[in-house]
Structure 1
C-alpha cells in the first residue's frame, strides 16, 4: 500500500493516474503545496510525494518511474532501446513543456508579487507553441511509444491539460485527439474521481 501526498489539482494527478493504470491500492492525503496536511507527512510541504516504507519521496516523474519500474508496466526494461526512446520523450517534455509551464506559474501566482516578471510569459508561450509541433512529430501511433501507453503519455497529457488551463497556445487537432484518447482511459477517470 502506498500513500500519496497532494491533490489532483497539481502534478499529483500524474502519480495517482500512474497508480490507477497499475491497479495498485493507495491512500491519498489531500493537501496543496506547503499546506499543513502536506507538512504533516513531508516537512518541506512539497507535493506530490510518495510514502514508501516510511520514507517520503517527492518529484512526480521520479515517482512515476519508480512505480512503473517496480511493477513492470507502463515502461520498458532498463538498458533497452525502447527505454532510451521513452526516457527521451520524458526529458523532452520536462524541458520543453513542464519547465515553461512552471516558470509561468511562478510568475503568475506562486512567487510573491515583488518577485514576478509578467514580461517573461509571451516568450514562454512562444517557446511552448514551437514545442507543440515537435511533440506532434514524436507521436508514433496512438501513443508516444506506438501502441503502448507509458508514463511518457501521462506526463504529456498532464502538461497539455495544464497548458489549457494556463491559457497557453492551443494544441493541434492531432494533439487534441491524442489527449482526448488518453483522458478517456478508465484509469484517468478513476484518478479524477473523489476519494
Structure 2
C-alpha cells in the first residue's frame, strides 16, 4: 500500500487522483508544506511525497510518471515516439502553465505588475492548448498523466481568478472533473 504525504487541495491531489484512477489503495497524511511531516519526507518541505515499499518519492509529476510506468496505465510505453510526445506535452504544461500559476501564487504581491503578466501568459498558453487539442484527451483517445496535470492546473487557474477557459477547454475540464476517481481523491 502506498502512503501519500500532503494536503488534498495542493499538487498532492494529482497523485491521489492517479492512484484512484489506477484503483490502488493508499493512506494519506495531509501534511502541510514545510510542516515537520513534510520536512521528514522532503528536505525542501514540499509536498507531495509518496512512500512506496520504503522508497520516498517527491514531486507530483515525477510521482505520477513513476506510478503510470509501474502500473502500465495512463502512459505510453517508455522508448516509443508516443511517449516522447507525451513527455513533451507534460514538460510544456509544467513550463508554461504550472510554472505560471506557481510564480503568480508565490510572487504576485512582491513584484508590481506580475499578476497581470502571469494572467496574460496563462491566457496565451490556454489558447495554444486549445488549438492543439484534437481528441477526447490531450494525447488522443486515452487519458494519460498530462490530462491530470492539465485539469489540475485549469482548476487552480479558475480558483485563483485567472482568465476563463474557452468553450472547448471548459468542456474538457468538466469531463475530467466528472470522473469518479477525481471525486474519490477529493473525498479521501
- Place the TM-score, normalised by the shorter chain, in its bin: over 0.9
Counterpart CA distance in 2 for 1:156 and 1:44 is 25
Q: How many residues align?
A: 188
1:43 Cα deviation (Å)?
A: 4.3
Counterpart CA distance in 2 for 1:41 and 1:151 is 23
| Unaligned ranges ≥5, structure 2 | none
CA contact (8 A) 2:3 2:52 kept: yes
CA contact (8 A) 1:3 1:27 kept: yes
**Which of 155, 165, 169 matches 2:163?**
169
Deviation readout 1:119-170 (Å, 9 max, x if unpaired): 2111111111111111112222111012101111000000000001111111
| Unaligned ranges ≥5, structure 1 | none
Number of the residue aligned with 1:12: 12
Moved over 2 A (4+): 36-45
TM-score of the superposed pair, with normalisation by structure 1: 0.92
CA contact (8 A) 2:104 2:118 kept: yes
TM-score of the superposed pair, with normalisation by structure 2: 0.95
What is the root-mean-square deviation in Å for CA atoms of aligned residues? Answer: 1.3
Number of the residue aligned with 2:66: 66
Deviates more, 1:82-91 or 1:58-67: 82-91
The secondary structure found in structure 1 opposite 2:113 is: helix
1:122-133 alignment, distance < 5 Å: 122-133=116-127
1:41 Cα deviation (Å)?
A: 4.0
Number of the residue aligned with 1:117: 111
